[in-house]
Chains A and B, each alone.
Chain A
Amino acid sequence: MYEEGKKRSFISVFIISVLLVLVLIAGIVVLFDPFYVYHKPLPGLKAVLNDKEYQCTGTLKHFDYDAVIAGSSVCENFNNGWFDEGFGCKSVKAIRSYGATADLMYLMDMAFDHREIRYVFYNIDPSSLYSPVETTYESTGCPVYLYDDNPFNDWKYLFNKDVLLEKIPFMLAKSHSDYDEGDSYNWAQWKTFHHLMCMTMYERLPEVAEMQDEHMYDELARENTKLITDMLEAHPDTEFMFFFSPYSMCWWDNAYRNGERDAVLSAERICIEELIRYDNASVYYYQDDADIITNLDNYMDTIHFSKEINHFICDSLIQGRDRITRENIDSVLDGMYELSDEIVNEYIHEYYEE
């Protein structure tokens, strides 16, 4: 009888212990909520944002904001404070690596579902115009349990040792440091921006391929642009500022050498022509800034530029510089075409032999 009691007591105590510890862990995670799945930061704690795949959805659902900075990794080094000050708004970031349009639209829909939005600062990456028009969160291994409203799959977040022993302590430590909440998802401080770094990352094709069909991306560009214009039409009271970030001349050199350049420019033209038709949209083009893109010391690879360039873009948006209109679209895009020729024939030879 006594032995039977001992057996029972072990199993009962074990089960009760397991349940109690699980509840305790879940309680701690819900309380501090480092991915902001349930609430915005507790009073006294800062919004520590450094895992975009895990935190973007939470911030869009629970933070107080009226502006969104949307785009790919090139947008991560913006300081939200620059936009807040320049436009008199409160911004959060909606970041998706690769900047695929469908993925960003998913985040934008989430933002519009939860908040009234006055401004959207939207970076358009050329590649996003000819990417598939389906979301890629699942296929790229993102934590999709954070992207839905299903509470039954939240256990992956609630019972997670990394969250418990890394993310929560990190958030607490950063909250009590001089962490700047505006530097959400910033990574520039850990990177080196130098022409050698950029050249190391650029695998230059040895041969120049024949230029491919100029219209090969047109259909995808139309479909991706349609995703954006649907958003414009659905939110007429929101002001959208689209901008094309300045990729390095290595990127353009590569586009030329692999024969994609004409198709890329055609896709950009399709998108821009469509966007500038809308009253609540404006488009800014920084890709043709020769001073920036031909100086490889601004870059860590062919695409990613330093924080100073982010600041330059933000200031330009505030001042309305380099805006594309119906009047100048041809000259801007033709100018980009000519600049890419100059890159290939002239500028790039400062770094690479002819």
Chain B
Amino acid sequence: MLFNSYIFICILLPVALLGWYGFNYFGQGRLAGIFLTGISLWFYAYFHLSYLFVIVGSIAINFCLSLIADIYRKHCIIVYKGIGPEDITSSDDTVMRIILIISVLANLGLLFYFKYTDFFIENLNALTGSDFALRGILLPLGISFFTFQQLSYVIDRCRGRAPHYDLITYATFVTFFPQLIAGPIVTYDEMIPQFTDVTRRRMDRENMRIGIRYFVIGFAKKVLLADVLAGPVNYAFVMPRELDTATVIIVMLMYMFELYFDFSGYCDMASGIAKMFNIDLPVNFNSPYTSANVKELWQRWHITLSRFFTTYVYIPLGGSRRGFGRMLANVFIVFVLSGLWHGAAWTYVLWGAINGVLVVWDNLCFVGVRGCDYKRECKLYIPRKAGQVLTFCFFLLSLCFFRSSTIPDALHLIRSIFCVNWNGKLFEVLSYIKAPEFYVAEEAAGMMAAGMLDKLHLICATVMLAISFIIITRPNSHEIAPRNDHPVRDGILMGILFVWCFVSLNQVSTFLYFNF
């Protein structure tokens, strides 16, 4: 089930809120947890029933590992050592190490099986000339998110940093539907205390107000911007080798905005829904496209993923403690892994590697951007605006790899940008910018003269890009949502915006079948 669907907005969300606050109102906190977990599992299984087994299995394994660790600690305290659990650490406890290894293998194994098996087989076949058949395994949605979320918990359990929670609390934390399928990647220590805080179990008007504002902003980003921008982008990437310079530039700009509005819009909706439950989710996007260098961009883009990799990969690898060169290598490794996390293809790995190189470059401090923090003095400083433009362009180029199916396709796109050519594909691609809002203008242009429609599509694309640009450079949702300066005006505007998005979910399909 998606947030931007009728069944979610009209049924699941109201039922979830009523049930959660209803059970808590009558003092049934435990039942409220069970109810919320059940609702979250319904939300998840709505995509595909078999997903349910994956997530339930994953929760069961991690909960059991935590339980074993808990039993072992108590056993140590009572029988053998007579010491407190705080004294048992992974460094001196073999059993904890074994549990840690099992948990890492189990979680990454699950992720590997569902996400990377075919990628592995493809590469094995390519390397060895073997002919193993691809498995075509259905990828459960959000598996990367809930796997990392649980991995962070069991690692900290084995390190003695996290307590054991009862099953209901743990399952509520993992399955909490606002963040289940697209993040942000939350940690137990920021979520579970909120779930167990009884003061958060009563409906709060302020949080409800902020939640609504968050949700509507995210809803609009997703439905009115991302989904419209997706039309020409999807069409263009069917034939990436046929695109000329102007088309590639415009399509990549559209894709850059689509990606941001899609992901950040979904995260805004997640934050809004969570806020309605009095739960604060961590900020995942903080106006990343206004960043002055790539390092800063990655501190503002998918922040919780960067946080996870920093905590569980970068620091264990030594972070910056083992010298400057090792630190740069660690940064690069993290970005390569981050690329692989985004998708099982070499295009993603290369995308991650490119961003890694760019962040390493920023860390080398050859060229700095005024106003940015650097660990040492840069040899040359450029103005912040120039840094923003360059960062934007570099990220746009890197996204050629992110969006392309193959590396040669991506290279072709980049070549098209720099080797200027024109074949008129632009108008064909832009004709896929479909939105009922443009319909009347399209019909009128079509009747006026041949060629007018092309111009109109160009105008529509320009308008969409201009709106996108204005939005990314203005205060973001985290700044706007809490505001309450003009409740009546905002209430009316948000209401209209919500309905505009709401009616956008229904479409009249074109049935194109002439074959009997």
Contacts and interface: CB of A to CB of B under 8 A. Distances in A.
Contact of B205 (A7, A15, A99, A160): A7
B94 interface: no
Nearest to B511: A53
A166 interface: yes
Interface residues of B, number: 35
Given A11-B205, A51-B508, A164 B503 contact: yes
A199 interface: no
Contacts of A163: 506, 508
A54 interface: yes
A156 B205 CA distance: 31
B344 interface: no
Interface string A1-39: 001101111111111111011100100000000000000
Contacts of A13: 487-488, 491-492, 495
B507 A162 contact: yes
Interface string A141-181: 11100000000000111011111111101100100000000
Contacts, number: 124
B491 A162 contact: no
Nearest to A170: B443
A166 B209 contact: no
Given A7-B206, A18-B499, A304-B514, A159 B491 contact: no
B208 A11 contact: yes
A9 B488 contact: yes
B490 A10 contact: yes
B439 A169 contact: yes
Nearest to B216: A14
Interface string A286-323: 00000000000000010110000000000000000000
B132 interface: no
Nearest to B223: A161
A166 B491 contact: no
A106 interface: no
B499 A7 contact: no
A55 to B, nearest CB: 11
A337 interface: no
Interface of A: 3-4, 6-18, 20-22, 25, 51-54, 72-73, 97-99, 125, 127, 140-143, 155-157, 159-167, 169-170, 173, 301, 303-304
18 contacts: A7-B487, A9-B488, A10-B484, A13-B488, A17-B495, A21-B495, A25-B503, A53-B509, A155-B6, A156-B506, A157-B506, A161-B507, A164-B436, A166-B436, A166-B439, A167-B508, A169-B439, A173-B443
Interface of B: 6, 205-206, 208-209, 212, 436-437, 439-440, 443, 484, 487-488, 490-492, 494-496, 498-500, 502-504, 506-509, 511, 513-516
Given A6-B487, A14-B491, A17-B499, 12 more contacts: A7-B206, A9-B488, A10-B494, A11-B205, A17-B496, A21-B499, A97-B514, A125-B516, A141-B511, A143-B508, A160-B508, A161-B506
